[in-house]
Amino acid sequence: MSDPGHSKFDPTVFLANAGLGRRITTVKQKQPFYSQGDPASSVFYLQKGRAKLTVVSKAGKEATLALLYPGDFVGEECLATVPGLRISTAVSITACTALEIRRTEMIRVMHEEHEFSDLFLRFLLARSMRIQADLVDQLFNSSEKRLARILLLMAEFGQPGEPNTFIPPITQETLAEMIGTTRSRVSFFMNRFRALGFIDYNGRIQVHKSLLNVVLLDQLPEHNAETPPIERVS
């Protein structure tokens, strides 16, 4: 029997506001929400901005695991039965605003509020599907096609609403880390995309819908698709 004195729980309101066990935090561009090796004690819900999840090997090599968008949770590993240390770093690509939810509060609301646990489960399933798509991309697609996919993801093609054709500022070095190639190859591929009319860039990168043809239809000229000329390597 419902309690007439108890207002209905709204996950949107919960995730938009600070309260008991949760606070709004702002992160400047290129600054971490948390770092690999930190104690895993809270979950972050990204309200505004873009971020990425990275991991660094013992040899110092960095890899990008995922891109993060408004509406994403990050740091959910803290919900493990035995909380431990962060296994990755969450760092902002642009200035970000996020709700930091303490582990105990996150567990409480998941147990007590079915609307929230349903929302969180949908997020986890969507992330699992995204990780599988990323793995397929790494295993079977060329680095040029992987770059096209990353640019489309950053422009939010396939996300609800209109795509943001101007992507956040990002260096070619970062793009190279994301797709597992070199900066010189990224430079070569970006020049090809611009020559083919798939993108424009003059300070900021603008992604055109025609770039979808690279990912969906493999519509790229075959000549020198993978190997940049030696004289263009800087």
Q: Domain for residue 63, yes or no?
A: yes
Using the predicted structure, report yes or no on whether residue 1 has a pLDDT greater than 70.
no
Q: Domain for residue 5, yes or no?
A: no
Taking the chain, what is the end-to-end CA distance rounded to the nearest angstrom?
Answer: 70
Q: Which long-range contacts (CB under 8 A, 24 or more apart) does 7-14 make?
A: 9/113, 9/115, 9/116, 10/115, 11/113, 11/115, 11/116, 11/119, 14/109, 14/113, 14/116
Task: State pLDDT tens for residues 207-233.
Answer: 998 998 888 766 666 544 444 443 343
d(CA 68, CA 50): 6
What is residue 171's predicted lDDT score, i.e. its pLDDT? 85
Same domain, 33 and 103: yes
Same domain, 127 and 148: no
Same domain, 58 and 159: no
d(CA 166, CA 178): 18
Q: Domain for residue 75, yes or no?
A: yes
What is residue 220's predicted lDDT score, i.e. its pLDDT? 67
What is residue 130's predicted lDDT score, i.e. its pLDDT? 86
Same domain, 67 and 183: no
Q: Domain for residue 37, yes or no?
A: yes
- Given 106, 137, 168, the domain boundary residue is 137
What is residue 221's predicted lDDT score, i.e. its pLDDT? 62
Task: State pLDDT tens for residues 80-126.
Answer: 877 789 999 999 999 999 999 999 999 999 999 999 999 999 999 99
- Given 103, 137, 171, the domain boundary residue is 137
Using an 8 Å Cβ cutoff, are 116 and 22 in contact?
no
Is the pTM higher than 0.85? The answer reads no
Q: Domain for residue 176, yes or no?
A: yes
Nearest to 168 by CA among 48, 11, 57: 48
- Given 111, 137, 163, the domain boundary residue is 137
Look up the CATH number of the domain holding residue 15: 2.60.120.10
Q: Domain for residue 4, yes or no?
A: no
What is residue 202's predicted lDDT score, i.e. its pLDDT? 81
Longest dimension (CA), the chain: 75
Same domain, 73 and 167: no
Look up the CATH number of the domain holding residue 186: 1.10.10.10
Using an 8 Å Cβ cutoff, are 66 and 52 in contact?
yes
Instruction: With H, G, I as helix, E, B as strand and everything else as coil, classify residue 27.
Output: strand
What is residue 232's predicted lDDT score, i.e. its pLDDT? 43
Q: Which domain holds residue 78?
A: 11-137
Task: State pLDDT tens for residues 7-57.
Answer: 789 999 999 999 999 999 999 999 999 999 999 999 999 999 999 999 998
Q: Domain for residue 6, yes or no?
A: no
Same domain, 124 and 180: no
**Residue 88 in tokens:** 């990755």
Same domain, 94 and 21: yes
Per the structure, how many domains does the chain have? 2
Task: State pLDDT tens for residues 145-196.
Answer: 999 999 998 888 866 667 668 888 888 888 888 888 999 999 999 999 999 9
Q: Domain for residue 2, yes or no?
A: no
What is residue 137's predicted lDDT score, i.e. its pLDDT? 83
Same domain, 119 and 179: no
Same domain, 129 and 205: no
